[in-house]
Amino acid sequence: MAAGDFDGDTLLDRAFGYPRANGNEGIVKIVYGSQVIQIWNRDSPGILGVDATGNYLGDSIAVGDFDGDGYDDLAIGVPGDDTGSGVNIGTFNVLYGSANGITSSFDQLYSQDTPGISSSEESFDAYGEFLQAGDFDCDGHDDLAIGIPQENLSSGVNGGAVNVIYGSSGGLTALDDWFHQNTTGVAGSIQTSDNFGASLLAANFTGDSSGGHACDDLIVGVPGEDIGYVDVGAMQLFPGSSSGLDIVNDVWFRQAHLGAEGSHEADDEFSTWLYGTSTSSNAFADIAVRVPGDACEAGGMALQVFDGTSSGLNRNTDELICIDAAGGLQLLADEFTTCILETGFCDCSQEFRDAVAQTSVPWKAREPWMCSVKLQAASDFCVDVPPQTTPSASPAALDCIEASEEAWDGCNYGTVEGEL
């Protein structure tokens, strides 16, 4: 799910990706604040690309105002797209907002073979699987970061890379950055299965601006990074600036590094998920990092929280939060799928159902990086409703849908949303 204002009416609109719909072709549903519903797929009039089984359209979605016209736009990942030169090469579509909401009038289709875009198409890159929007050059036009963790580079299979495409008054351009751990100035070095770019988060962690526009930074997760042990994991922060992302002055984060808490261990996979949050009243975005393999308590799981400051994320005040496995916070955060906001459908993931069944931690204890109201509603209604593939008007399904709508309306994430 990603949220924005696609029609400029100041009401929150929500886009939901369903990559496994229609035989894994995928669809995206937009539920406007006015309760109007749009459904988009590759068969929709004006949409570029071929609708095919295994496209997984909507596997990722990102919202940003790429042309700076005041209407939010929507990037839709199609990581399973076969473009003719290979299998699961991946593409993404960009649909633009207007006074009438999202339209296909200026639809753009990007791949790694799009003129001006760095690198080239390869099978199984799954380009478009990881998308994150932010204004990295502080010009008032949002830009789009594309994580390509399965990118094969000369020194490592699935070493991973990141592509950043910049926005303009005409929308996304062919002006891009392309970087990986062997790019001059970037910390680290490519290793097989590093999966650089397997998680992304854009936010203004330092509170800086240029020309009246905030300068967003980009955090790139590297969950497969080996540091003495296998799959310890790390993340790298690339600062935003008036000239774009500062590739050569990235900052390296991992556990037990320069004052950070924890200890790096094999299979920690630090940075598997990144959650934007605001844990204080200042103007700096903070981050909660999932460390799924950290057994900080017997049978437990971990989140590591770093506070934003004027000089960047602070390692010396970070907090390693241990979650009892019975609390199920990680499963709730990672696996929750809200009810489909269309009358008659309700589908919450089995992982979420299983986690709720074990939950003992009070809902309010899970703030600030999760909306307790939303999860409470899902616990009360969605878990008791079997997954549905056809419409149902059962009272349970309708209660689930109503509760989910009300819960989303009650959510307030503060400054930034991440993967959650």
- What is the reported pLDDT for 414? 33
Each residue's pLDDT tens digit, 9-21: 999 898 888 888 8
Lowest mean pLDDT segment, chosen from 130-139, 238-247, 277-286? 277-286
- What is the reported pLDDT for 143? 98
Global pTM value: 0.81
Shortest CA distance to 78 belongs to which of 148, 124, 126? 126
- What is the reported pLDDT for 335? 40
CA distances in angstroms from 12 to 27, 36, 250, 406, listed in the order given: 20, 12, 34, 12
- Stretch 312-321: mean pLDDT: 85
Sorted by where each begins, the domain ranges of the chain are 1-128, 146-323, 325-420
Each residue's pLDDT tens digit, 57-114: 999 999 999 999 999 999 999 999 998 778 999 999 999 999 999 999 999 999 999 9
3-state helix, strand, coil in the chain (%, to 5): 15, 30, 60
Please determine, for residue 273, whether its predicted confidence score (pLDDT) is greater than 50. yes
Please determine, for residue 243, whether its predicted confidence score (pLDDT) is greater than 90. yes
pLDDT bin (cut points 50, 70, 90) of residue 48 is very high
Architecture per CATH, domain 146-323, reads as: 7 Propeller (2.130)
- What is the reported pLDDT for 2? 86
The residues, any chain, with a CB within 8 Å of residue 36's CB and separated by 6 or more, are 101
- Stretch 27-50: mean pLDDT: 91
Each residue's pLDDT tens digit, 117-140: 988 899 999 999 999 999 999 999
- What is the reported pLDDT for 247? 92
